[in-house]
Amino acid sequence: MRPKRQQSWFQFVTEEVGASLIYDPNCLPQLIHLTDAPHRRHPALVSFLGRGKKDRALRSLFADNPSNSISTFGFRLRVDHRTLYSGRPILFTDGDPNQSPQPPDIGGLAGVEKIPIAWASSSGAQIVDTIVTRFLLPASHVVCIFAEDIGGLVGVQALLRRWIAIGPQATQPALRPRLLVVVETKEVTSGDESLGDAHLAGVLAPPSDAPEVFAGIHMLHVSSASVLSDEARYRPLKEELLKALDVMERDRSECGLHFSAAHLPGLLEKAIRHTAQAHDRTFNLIEKARPPPRPLEWTFHIGHFLRQGNKVAVEAQDIIISSSLMLDAFPPNMHEFHPIDLFRQRYWQPCLDALKPVVGGAAAVHRVQSLESRVINSHIDMINRGASALDLHQGQQEQHRPQHSLACGHALCDACVERYGQPPSRAESTYILEACPLCRQPCLTSIVLLPRTAAVRALTVDGGGIRGIVSLQILLTLQNLLGPHCPLPDLIDVAFGTSAGMSPPQPPPSPRGGGAVSFRPPAVPISRAWLTQCDCLYRRAQVATLLASSTAVDFFHGHVRSYAVSLTVGCTIQTRLNRFCEHTTVAQGDSLGRMYQRVPKSRSPPPPSMAQ
């Protein structure tokens, strides 16, 4: 059976008008679409560069991803199905770094796009090196080169030197992969890898003005003995790849550059289009992943706030500005870059331009540094609490919550009323606002604030027996005096109580063994209806407690035996008692009936004087 042709992720073609990229924009989204909860999945990309040795290693490393396709030009992209539903799905791409652009042959390939390479006046090999260096290397977490497929260590060194000489840093912030060079030897010793790392790093030491391309370089020796199976031969490579992925995941997470499956496809598509159009310009990750900045508007609004809030303390101003910047820097469902990179790229200059006319040059720089520190601390707090920027903003504004509405529609907090209002001569804690401090519209308003000497308003409710009813009656009287539009709980900051002054009302439980019933109405009911309900329930509970006790049963039993004219009278009294208890709770009525029936008949009634 003839192997089918597999569609490449991207490949290079040459035409009469120039070179182009044949790019499949649906390749990566289709792989990511297989995962659920893409915001919680952070894929890692491994690039395998080589030919025959590379294909042999891939068949061993990813046995669950069989590939019966013929070799194609360009780079293929696949996913390790064993890690598809993990927190870190492993994507891997493979290709030959020394390939040359081929004539276009895209028949039968659906959904591909042809992206012209605007700078394609150079040779074909340089085009491939540029695309690999400016796009593939930054997108990868680990790059694995098979030395035997490239021409040995000499070929690897020549390839890496070409990559280093390509040009400036590819991305901002910098994305650098770890390089793993696989060398096959007959015998592997423990010192080969360390010596190889030192030798390779010394040979590849870039000039002082050249950008760093790799985060680290490691040489791995695998055995070429024929007695070993491919699984045993490439087991060290698999272990080294997993270690390198763990290190890169940690490093990129700390730098805010570990992208989720929801953001990675769109970002890589923008990166490859950017590289095809202008390879000599750095690809700005923050600029491409965020809406365009509006520095002029930000400068105007921050400056307007500083001028209007000149009576507000500097610390309060910085809290409000930094909290507002957090809302713009970390919107919901967006990738969270490092706060330092975000602030210095998007907000440093607008804040500095807004502060210079207000506080001066040197003081403005100090204030901007203070704002940066507040944004960093807020981001750390957001991560530790698992909250959003909106939650932090609302929490910080609780101290200055708007409470006083004006005719223009704005609302002010107590602090703003004190700063912008004019206190009259003979009115304590009263302020008059002639105009809104935000929009300057006339709105003559008199606002009365809580005096500064006002302490915490506390309520204590005593309990125990009849005192619980007395306390409830006092609260009910206070509520009647206040009226239905002024709930009593709104006037109290904290409440304490014992017994009847603590718990919310519950139906009185059934007594066990003649014990007393414990019932505690609330100290501060929510409404007048609750106060009335508490009073009624508490009275019923007191009567039920009396009737449910063993002493009360003996008393009523003796009373019935002494003064009942006939059995009918006794049954009538017992029936009334049972009905009363059933009206209170069914369980208490049953308990009282059973206790009444268990009274010994030989027990003599109490003397008439005691019964009376």
Q: Is the pLDDT of residue 602 over 60?
A: no
Q: Rounded to an integer, what distance in angstroms lies between the CA atom of residue 408 and that of residue 434?
A: 12
Residue 221 contacts residue 193 (beta carbons within 8 Å) = yes
User: In this predicted model, which residue has the larger pLDDT, 131 or 191?
Assistant: 131
342-393 tens-digit pLDDT: 999 999 999 999 999 988 888 999 999 999 999 999 999 998 988 888 888 8
The whole-number pLDDT of residue 225 equals 79
- One-letter identity of residue 37: A
The whole-number pLDDT of residue 515 equals 32
The whole-number pLDDT of residue 299 equals 93
Q: Is the pLDDT of residue 546 over 70?
A: no
Average pLDDT over residues 159-186: 88
User: In this predicted model, which residue has the larger pLDDT, 478 or 585?
Assistant: 478
Q: How confident is the model at residue 449 (pLDDT cuts 50, 70, 90)?
A: confident
Task: State pTM to two decimals.
Answer: 0.67
Q: Rounded to an integer, what distance in angstroms lies between the CA atom of residue 257 and that of residue 241?
A: 19
Q: Rounded to an integer, what distance in angstroms lies between the CA atom of residue 466 and that of residue 462?
A: 10
Question: What's the whole-number average pLDDT of the chain?
Answer: 76
The whole-number pLDDT of residue 189 equals 56
253-307 tens-digit pLDDT: 999 999 999 999 999 999 999 999 988 899 999 999 988 889 999 999 999 888 8
The whole-number pLDDT of residue 583 equals 46
The whole-number pLDDT of residue 541 equals 57
The whole-number pLDDT of residue 66 equals 58
The whole-number pLDDT of residue 104 equals 67
What the block records as the tokens of 480 is: 């009647």
Least confident among 96-105, 439-448, 556-565: 556-565
Q: Rounded to an integer, what distance in angstroms lies between the CA atom of residue 562 and that of residue 554?
A: 12
The whole-number pLDDT of residue 484 equals 79
Average pLDDT over residues 147-153: 90
DSSP-assigned beta bridge partners for residue 220: 182
The whole-number pLDDT of residue 558 equals 46
The whole-number pLDDT of residue 343 equals 95
Q: Rounded to an integer, what distance in angstroms lies between the CA atom of residue 476 and that of residue 491?
A: 14
What the block records as the tokens of 451 is: 């005096």
Contacts for 606-611: CB closer than 8 Å, 24+ residues apart: 606/555, 606/558, 606/559, 606/562, 608/562, 611/555, 611/558, 611/559, 611/562, 611/563
Residue with tokens 């698999």: 238
Average pLDDT over residues 489-507: 65
Q: Is the pLDDT of residue 555 over 90?
A: no
What the block records as the tokens of 266 is: 């769109």
User: In this predicted model, which residue has the larger pLDDT, 1 or 336?
Assistant: 336
The whole-number pLDDT of residue 247 equals 94
Q: Is the pLDDT of residue 338 over 90?
A: yes
What the block records as the tokens of 350 is: 């607008």
Residue with tokens 């304490």: 496
Residue 119 contacts residue 279 (beta carbons within 8 Å) = yes
